[in-house]
Every structure is written in structure tokens, then in C-alpha cells.
Amino acid sequence: MAKALVGYRVAYDQRLMLETLELRRRVADLEHLVDRLQRDNDSLRETVRERVRQPDVVGAGAPTIAG
């Protein structure tokens, strides 16, 4: 439909092709970064969950100033 409205004409512009490739490369880099950060976040979240489930036994039962 859009081709019919604008007319079917393919223009080859080297600048636009290179810019498109660079933008696709940048998007792929950002997607990989998001995936890595999500994995890191999941790992940290699991570490926190494990530490919350297992209380610190070293300090357990030690007298404190408050009582």
C-alpha cells in the first residue's frame, strides 16, 4: 500500500545503508547489554534471597549493648 502511494522506486544511497547498518549494530549491542544486566540482576537477587533465608550464625546469640 505504501509503495503504491509513494511510487515503487528504490533509491540506493550508500550513506543511508551505512547508517542503517550502524544503527542495527548499536541496537544489537544494547540488546546484549540489557540481557547481561538482567542476568546480573537475577544473580544478585538470588544471592540476596539466599542470605535472607540463611541467617548469619556467627553473630547469633552474641550479647549486645541493648540487651
Question: Three cell numbers at 8?
Answer: 515503487
Q: Interior CA angle at 60 toward 58 and 66, to 5°? A: 125
Predicted pLDDT at 12: 78
Q: Is the pLDDT of residue 30 over 70?
A: yes
- Reported as a single tens digit per residue, the pLDDT across 9-29 is 666 788 989 999 999 999 999
CA-CA distances (angstroms) from residue 61 to 56, 57, 58, 67? 10, 8, 8, 11
Predicted pLDDT at 5: 57
